[in-house]
């Protein structure tokens, strides 16, 4: 019988090996460490997970593709970016995960996102594996024609690696409906196939699903509500701070309002807005989705109730609920101290790994309900899988049906994480519950399929 102590030592050695094999990839190291440090109880209880190099295989992508993306700007100058697709694990189904277009994208970032996606997708129980992709291209400030030319060049290489039964990309930071449209058009042109299920996040008139744009934000709020409900509380009348002002943040704010909570902040790279009356969703959508402007424009138009804080930290604002919805490692130890001091009751991650490990530890020590991204923000990929199901059947569902399915999935994820944490002696620890539950589902499939 292997003890937990021996298992922890083995996992620590494995983490060291992974760091040596993947140098200069801090985000990937962080994601792997966060999972491995929680697996000792399950590996000790089920030693078959340690025997066939299973964890080593789980931490090594099945395929990593890096390619050149040349494109021409509106001045006729040829630009060159780098494209990535990391197909991490397909034991449960075709690779599934978004594409991120942002200057910060590199191989380590894509590997961290792909690794997280494996567990997140497993928790949905919808038969999808994990992958991620993107480019260091920045669509901000580019014309529609430039974005189109970039997307066409990107897909000219990517198309040979994807397919509805192989790998199904979607959107992420910098990749919305416009980009998905250009990518799908080029895929269709190259392959001469109307393969609707090859991309998700499509327009609703040509194969997209209702509630897909809203799904990540809605799902995160549903998970936060489930955590509070477990404690005999609810969202009604609560004040919430939300970071970001993109798709996830906007629909997080919308769902909070629907459940009786009041979101008072939004942010972007220039700073944050605090609005005492609560964020005016219609104005925010106009500024960010239509005009592609900055949040200071929101504050200017909103009037006396709103003020813009340049370069500030949204976590300075007192609130009952915090929902980080922008990007990785945006909420650090100092932010956690401020939130705890101001009485925060729950933190639920709308972005991928937005909270640093030190901050997570502080929240858990303080008894704050903490929902990790691989559980709390799984709503987006869940509805993507529902979009795939609609595409396969060549049908479309009503918004009410999709939202009902989303609510059911998020509540099931919460129950799974909560019960798994209790089963392994870590009650109310959603990080441990999510990691072990996702791991068990993927590991069992890998064991059944042999050493591949």
Residues tagged active-site = 132
Q: Is 132 helix (H, G, I), strand (E, B) or coil?
A: strand
**218 and 255 in contact (C-beta within 8 Å)?**
yes
For 124, other C-beta atoms within 10 Å of its C-beta total 26
Beta bridge partners of 275: 306
**134 and 100 in contact (C-beta within 8 Å)?**
yes
**255 and 222 in contact (C-beta within 8 Å)?**
yes
- 106 CB-contact burial (10 Å; exposed 0-12 / middle 13-18 / buried 19+): middle
Cα-Cα-Cα-Cα dihedral sign, residues 426, 431, 437, 443: negative
Beta bridge partners of 310: 271
Can you tell me which residue has the tokens 């609703």?
204
CA dist., res. 9 & res. 6, Å (int): 5
Residues 6+ apart with CB under 8 A from 20: none
Distances (CA, A) of 33 to 19, 27, 231, 372: 10, 10, 29, 14
**320 and 344 in contact (C-beta within 8 Å)?**
yes
CA dist., res. 378 & res. 79, Å (int): 35
Q: Inter-axis angle of helices 399-423 and 379-393, to 10 degrees?
A: 130
Q: Inter-axis angle of helices 215-230 and 379-393, to 10 degrees?
A: 130
**278 and 261 in contact (C-beta within 8 Å)?**
no
**191 and 223 in contact (C-beta within 8 Å)?**
no
């Amino acid at each position: 019988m292997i003890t937990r102590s021996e298992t922890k030592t083995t996992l620590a050695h494995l983490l060291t090996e992974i760091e040596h094999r993947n140098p200069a990839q801090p985000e990937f190291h962080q994601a792997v460490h966060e999972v491995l440090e929680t697996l000792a109880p399950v590996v000790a209880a089920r030693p078959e997970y340690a025997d066939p190099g299973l964890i080593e295989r789980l931490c090594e992508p099945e395929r990593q593709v890096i390619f050149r993306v040349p494109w021409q700007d509106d001045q006729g100058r040829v630009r060159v970016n780098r494209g990535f697709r990391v197909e991490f694990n397909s034991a449960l189904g075709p690779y599934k995960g978004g594409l991120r277009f942002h200057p910060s994208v590199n191989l380590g970032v894509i590997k961290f996102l792909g690794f997280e996606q494996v567990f997140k997708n497993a928790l949905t129980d919808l038969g999808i594996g994990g992958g991620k992709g993107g480019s260091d291209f920045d669509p901000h400030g580019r014309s529609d024609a430039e974005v189109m030319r970039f997307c066409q060049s990107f897909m000219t290489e990517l198309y040979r690696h994807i397919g509805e039964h192989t790998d199904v990309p979607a959107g992420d930071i910098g990749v919305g409906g416009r980009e998905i449209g250009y990518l799908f058009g080029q895929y269709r042109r190259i392959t001469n196939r109307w393969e609707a299920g090859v991309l998700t996040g499509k327009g609703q008139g040509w194969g997209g699903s209702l509630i897909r744009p809203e799904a990540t934000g809605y799902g995160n709020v549903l998970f936060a509500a489930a955590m509070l409900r477990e404690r005999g509380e609810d969202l009604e009348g609560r004040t919430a701070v939300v970071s970001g002002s993109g798709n996830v943040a906007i629909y997080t704010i919308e769902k909070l309002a629907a459940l009786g909570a009041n979101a008072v902040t939004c942010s972007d790279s220039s700073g944050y807005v605090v609005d005492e009356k609560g964020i005016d969703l219609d104005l925010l959508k106009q500024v960010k989705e239509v005009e592609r402007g900055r949040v200071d424009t929101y504050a200017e138009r909103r009037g006396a109730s709103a003020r813009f804080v340049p370069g500030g930290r949204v976590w300075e604002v007192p609130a009952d609920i915090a929902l980080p919805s922008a990007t990785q490692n945006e909420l650090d130890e100092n932010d956690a101290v401020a939130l705890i001091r101001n009485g925060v009751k729950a933190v639920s991650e709308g972005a991928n790994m937005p909270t640093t490990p030190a901050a997570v530890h502080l929240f858990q020590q303080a008894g704050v309900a903490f929902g990790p991204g691989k559980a709390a923000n799984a709503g987006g990929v869940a509805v993507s899988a529902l979009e795939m199901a609609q595409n396969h059947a060549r049908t479309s569902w009503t918004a009410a049906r999709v939202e009902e399915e989303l609510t059911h999935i998020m509540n099931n994820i919460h129950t799974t994480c909560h019960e798994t944490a209790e089963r392994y002696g870590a009650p109310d620890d959603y990080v441990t519950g999510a990691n072990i539950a996702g791991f068990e589902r993927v590991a069992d499939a890998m064991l059944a399929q042999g050493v591949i």
